[in-house]
Amino acid sequence: MTELEPDPNSRITKVDFGYSAILAILVFFSRYFTRSAPYFGDGPFIVQAIRDRIYTVEPPGYWLYARLGSLFPDPVFGLTFSNEIFAATGVGVFFLLCRKLDLSIKMSVAATLAYGSVFFCWFAGGIQTSHGSQMLFAPLTVFCFLYYQENKSIWLLMSCGLSFAIGAGMRPSDGAFLTPLFFFLLVRFVPEWKRRIFLLVFTGIVCLAWYIPTQMAMQHPAVNTVRNEMHGMASRTSMLLNGINRHTISNLLRVFVPLLAAFWMLVPSMFGRKPLLQKWILLLWIVPGLAFFLFVSMAEAQYLTLLAGGIVLLAALSENQRRAFVLLLVCFTFNTLLFLGSRPIDSERNAARVVNFYVVKCCYYGIRHRWNLNIGNGGVVPR
């Protein structure tokens, strides 16, 4: 064994599954008691698309997510319950991933509590948009590959492709961001060419199972086109297209402000030496999506849900485990208080408005007041 490889003896035990289940239950009820009625973002439109049996609202479609919600008699309940399950199962899997990366039980619990409490992840699990799904499928894909290395079962290999393909179906844009990580894990942990080809073909077939119906559904005249969607998304906010101006700076703030609000306390533990394999996994987990949000377009804080697990692990895998443990507990405490207790700053200064719209809006205050509009389209702070 080299430092590039996880410890093959770090097997998941019944005790680990017990901790995982307890953490999952806690997170499920945290989302259940802070759930919202449909009001935010695409949520109401996805509900209506299910009722109209269109199942898409705009590119990239969200057909699989809408179809999941349609399996329930009430699509509002279906979408809400699905996100609560994604959040709960996601933190359970994240704990097992921490253990697979050879973190102690104490450190794994602290990291998982931090992950489950991140304010924009909590928000994503309580509304009806598809962002909450990435609390599960991003860490699950990494965990499946690490577990496959330990037990090279064909079923575990298929689980790697299934996790990635379903996660990509729930949010195709996030699937695109995770594609470099998927290929890296494929090359790193599946050395046999026959199995690599099998996994690629299997993953492709599962992706086609949602991609083809998505494209068919998007032919409906009520659905926006990809060209219009991309133009509306990036025409003003992309720094690559427009350079530095007030619109692109606002886009940067929509990325940096929520990240700093959630993770400022973890910065001392994010940097330092790590095994090369861990560095590549975290780099490819975080950077593609972050680069898109920074240089093309960013909307609301819950878009960052995809990156949260990688950022928490960046701190949890620090060489200084004692400091990282304390900071992760601070992260858990701060984000819990932020989500449940934050209130808008009573000021019209630009800095106050940035905090209000980019942080407080995506906390429980925003849910209770159905705060939806943003600064750019005439939003006001509800009181």
pLDDT at 312: 98
Q: How many CB atoms lie within 10 A of CB 167?
A: 24
Place of tokens 């005790």: 15
Average pLDDT over residues 3-11: 52
pLDDT for the residue numbered 4: 41
Give me the pLDDT at residue 192, please: 94
pLDDT digits (tens, 9 = 90+) for 304-316: 999 999 999 999 9
Q: pTM for this one?
A: 0.93
Question: What's the pLDDT band for 230 if we cut at 50, 70, 90?
Answer: low
Instruction: Quickly count helices (H) and strands (E) in the chain.
Output: 19, 0
360-378 pLDDT tens trace? 999 999 999 999 877 766 6
Above 60 in pLDDT, residue 226? no
Mean pLDDT (the chain) is: 90
DSSP secondary structure string for all residues of 30-53: HHHTT---S-STTHHHHHHHHHTT
Read off the tokens for 346. 């009573």
**Dihedral sign, Cα of residue 337, residue 343, residue 345, residue 346:** negative
